[in-house]
Structure 1
């Protein structure tokens, strides 16, 4: 019989929580240091909280809920994960109820969530009143198969570490406006962006590459590498006035070449299934689908 206890999550849980999350989400690129950094960096107005489920002292469930502070719409966000061997015991429901109560107490009316594509996850989301809004394709490529290419005249390829972070923030902010999703990520301050991306402990600013024209970064690809060799190109984007020139393909290729030099054997990337231009870039580089996640909204 399961001896279950659901309680508030604590910082000392982050190691076990990372192991659980990387098991439930097999293509996740995350580390204990990254989870800890995200918790510490979250602004007060996010009201972020965590919950843990224990079975006889072992962490078997993990959940979080917060206000999505990167969007001017300020929706709520929740996510619950349960170890496969501990499912069908009501843990997912217990964790979700705590998340929902927290967000309701904050007066949140729109709540977003992400699940795996498993049937059980979909049924749980539907049972809690969520509707499926988006499907994210997870693709992967062995970066050792990528051949380097020279930049065309007038374009310099530079590591993000060598660039002015303010200019990179402006590039990222504009590129994010055109990323498909239920809500726009359109309200990130420069200081918060520094914490969330530039200073994230898994971000490799030396391996991430930007295309620079006339001393202005106009396209970039951002790489995160977690301990154990998991890597993801977290964001690739181009300023609107510079699109259609192959710059996204150029910087992503250069970033993958750098990942191979780090000893990485698989780099994943996540894109909304309606994001045709980015999916074509990935296919050109040899990415192939390896999984998917689902986004949900309520109401």
Structure 2
């Protein structure tokens, strides 16, 4: 039984389904579907040199890698390598083959520093360190059972109204501007510049996982002041990928208000699980999520490797 590594072929349904299956088994708290994978590849920016890889054994996809350059950072030469192997198919060499293929691809395209998210488990951390990566910051995955109780909906402060993302379908730019501002303040070891509206439309607004109907927006003084952006997998799983408040409106509880509204509407729509993620240094957001009843279900560590 020989393990081989090759490019994902998005037109081959077995490829995207195998990729999605491995990602779900290895990282069940992260929403991904075959359609979202194919969409991401079809709409990747050329300068990202995005290259999803699969490790295959006897015709079965047993490992995956998402590989590319961090094209929206002002710092040149940054790349990412996120490798996941089927939990029942480890110790076959798939992970190492994927890492080596990914590093060659990125080095050939000028990458000098690589970032990789690694689940905080002894075997995974040892694997990363054997391949020359060193630990950096970390982040939590959190899960909430939507079949249980939620905090009651709160009365709106004067001058504040709640809308959905769908209310901005004719002109999503105000949500782009809010997303850009809040994302730039997120704790990270990579600096990002979110200035390309057309790229945001392709990567976020039109992504098949994005749910404008379950995205809640708190509007104050006539502009979006806070929001909770939602994604769903088309089944029973719902996730918030960004919850934040514009700088001028912070300290008023508007992000909590928007997220609570989104959670209630997700439950009413039949979703049974809610997922989100937080940098471990983002104490305020972790506290808000624990107030809702989220529990930490896993932790990932960001690993970094400098290429010579």
TM-score range for the pair, normalised by the shorter chain length: over 0.9
Tell me if 1:175 matches 2:182: yes
How far does residue 188 in structure 1 lie from its aligned partner after superposition?
4.3
How far does residue 100 in structure 1 lie from its aligned partner after superposition?
0.2
Tell me if structure 2 keeps the 8 A contact 1:72–1:187.
no
Tell me if structure 1 keeps the 8 A contact 2:40–2:203.
yes
Tell me if 1:60 matches 2:67: no
Residue from 113, 124, 128 that aligns with 1:125: 128
How far does residue 185 in structure 1 lie from its aligned partner after superposition?
2.3
Residue from 94, 100, 103 that aligns with 2:97: 94
Structure 2-normalised TM-score?
Answer: 0.93
Counterpart of 2:6 in structure 1 is: 7
Structure 1-normalised TM-score?
Answer: 0.96
Residue from 150, 156, 161 that aligns with 1:151: 156
Tell me if structure 1 keeps the 8 A contact 2:50–2:68.
yes
Matches of 1:227 and 1:209, distance apart in 2: 18
Residue from 70, 73, 87 that aligns with 1:71: 73
- Note the aligned Cα RMSD (angstroms): 1.3
Structure 2: gaps spanning 5 or more residues? none
Alignment coverage as a number of residue pairs:
298
Alignment of 1:1-299 (within 5 A): 2-11=1-10, 12=12, 13-74=15-76, 75-144=78-147, 145-146=149-150, 147-163=152-168, 164-299=171-306
Tell me if structure 2 keeps the 8 A contact 1:211–1:217.
yes
Tell me if structure 2 keeps the 8 A contact 1:175–1:239.
yes
How far does residue 91 in structure 1 lie from its aligned partner after superposition?
1.2
Tell me if structure 1 keeps the 8 A contact 2:184–2:194.
no
Matches of 1:282 and 1:70, distance apart in 2: 28
Q: Secondary structure at the match of 1:86?
A: coil
Matches of 2:63 and 2:290, distance apart in 1: 35
Tell me if structure 1 keeps the 8 A contact 2:3–2:92.
no
